[in-house]
Amino acid sequence: MKQAGLPRGLAICLMSLVFVPQLALAAYVPALPAIGRSFDVGPGGTSSSLVGYMAAYAVCMILTGNLADRYGSRRVQLTGLLLFTGASVLCLLAPVYGVFVAGRVLQALGAGTGTVISRLWVQRALPKEQRLSMLTALSTVIAVTPAASPPLAGMAVEHASWRVLFAFMAVLGAIAAGAVAKLLPADDTGTTTEAEGAPGGPARPLGGLAGLGRAYRTVLANRDFTVFAAAISLAWCTYFTFTTYSSDLLQLRLGASPTLYGVLYTLVITGYVAGSTTAKRLGRTRSLESIARTAAAVAAGTAALMPVTVRLWPHSTLSIVVPMAVCMLGVGALFPTCQAGMMRYEGEHAGAASGLFFFLQMASGACYTALTGIPGSPDAPMLALAIALPALALLLLCLFALRSRPQAGQELPAVRSARPVKSGSS
């Protein structure tokens, strides 16, 4: 018998909610050197806007679930998209760099709501056996957007202006807000749905900051959660370090145009998508720990070669892009693997666990790039070393902290990398 899913309009609306934050990050990267020139910011100075965006994005993810529980997911999502739209206009019209960075932080605070609420709606609106296809669609949007948008963004920057990107983001935010207002049904706050297993029953609050603190202590005491959270954080540091500094390196030092940089960045993201697909297939026959160790070896091995390739071919963009694309095979496989490992925690604070997990992942990248503090526009050996360090730490963690725990019939669908979210999660 055919199972009913979400209405087509609602499904498209939810996909747009995960599209917005991915585009705001990926399409922006090729524009970094042009933005630096526009505001007379020295080489590498624009990296603070990327770090600020990711830090705010992490904070948004851990807060949105609680706000949605209190005020309703539709109201929170509308507020987030309106904030994103206004912040895009602020970036578009920013007279000085400080105002621009403030706009990027506000963009992230608004856009990040969709990452949480789209999955929250899938959980609330569909029973478990009907969630697979919708979660697959969301995961596809998340994977394809950073692969497809940089070349187009690079062309816009090269032939028009970086401000065109933010004009487009403002229009996109307004359209998405209109779609939410029309297509996303109002939800009842303080209740759970039949899909959550307690029809009409009261939601169990976490009791403010003290309750959240107790929940997080319980979650962090779980070994699976802690190890897999550490692993995905190190993998993200490898990925985000390249994203933060590669635009200045490849464009300012190695002469790539914004359009060419977009193509090169897409090559790197293609490695990530291939790695995620491979993890899904391997998950049918191998344990999560085994997949994680293999993926970490691939990521660390190629990252360790990167300082060598950039010295052998110092003037070639491919000397860093090709090893990074192979490294991303491992990173891409680790993301769904680590998220599936985190899902082994099924205690009463599963929602808080999901939120904390993704917060730690996003915050780790912002903290690592802030701590490394590569001055100016980094040269290739410096960037290669900054990428290799977390990758090597990741390999050591997976080799010594992950012990195989095979499960009969274990399966790792790609969509399980995006756990349906309960209150307080992302």
pLDDT at 399: 92
Question: What mean pLDDT is predicted for residues 194-205?
Answer: 40
Beta bridge partners of residue 202, listed in sequence order = 191
CA distances from 312 to 33, 315, 316, 317, 390 (A): 26, 9, 9, 12, 23
DSSP 55-82: HHHHHHHHHHHHHHHHH-HHHHHHHHHH
Tens digits of residue pLDDT in 125-149:
766 556 546 665 676 677 678 777 8
Structure tokens at 179: 């779609």
Q: Are domains 12-187 and 208-420 of this chain identical in fold? A: yes
Query: What share of the chain in percent tops pLDDT 70?
Result: 78
Name the least confident of 16-30, 158-172, 184-198. 184-198
Q: By C-alpha distance, which of 105, 80, 89, 87 is closest to 18?
A: 80
208-420 CATH: 1.20.1250.20
Residue 191 φ then ψ, to 5°: -130, 160
| Structure confidence at residue 123 (pLDDT) | 66
373: buried, middle or exposed (CB in 10 Å: 19+, 13-18, 0-12)?
exposed
* Domain residue limits, the chain: 12-187, 208-420
pTM: 0.73
225, amino acid identity: F
Tokens 């109201």 belong to which residue? 75
pLDDT at 409 over 60: no
| Whole-number Å distance between alpha carbons of 180 and 74 | 7
Q: Which two tokens stand for residue 90?
A: 């602020």
Residue 404 is predicted with a pLDDT of 59
Q: Per-residue confidence at 389, pLDDT binned at 50, 70, 90?
A: very high
pLDDT of 180 > 80? The answer is yes
Average pLDDT, stretch 241-257?
85
Give pLDDT tens digits for 274-326. 888 888 788 778 888 999 999 999 999 999 999 999 999 988 989 999 999 99
pLDDT band with cut points at 50, 70 and 90 for residue 412: very low
Average pLDDT, the chain: 80
More confident residue, 413 or 87: 87
Q: Which of 37, 29, 44 is nearest to 378 (CA)?
A: 44
**Stretch (H or E) spanning 16:** helix 8-26
CATH number of this structure's domain 12-187, picked from the four choices 3.10.20.440, 3.40.605.10, 1.20.1250.20, 3.40.50.720: 1.20.1250.20
* 424 pLDDT tier (thresholds 50, 70, 90): very low
Please indicate whether residue 381 or residue 63 has the higher confidence score (pLDDT): 381
DSSP assigned state of 417? G
Q: Is the pLDDT of residue 343 over 50?
A: yes
Range 191-199 average pLDDT: 39
Residue 161 has pLDDT above 50, yes or no: yes
Question: What is the predicted pLDDT for the residue at 415?
Answer: 38
Predicted confidence (pLDDT) at residue 59 exceeds the cutoff of 90:
no
Among 35, 399, 393, which Cα is nearest to 238's?
393
pLDDT band at 70 (very low <50, low <70, confident <90, very high): confident
Q: How far apart are the first and last CA of the chain?
A: 33
Cα 236–Cα 241–Cα 245 angle in degrees, nearest 5: 155
Model confidence band, residue 392 (pLDDT cutoffs 50, 70, 90):
very high
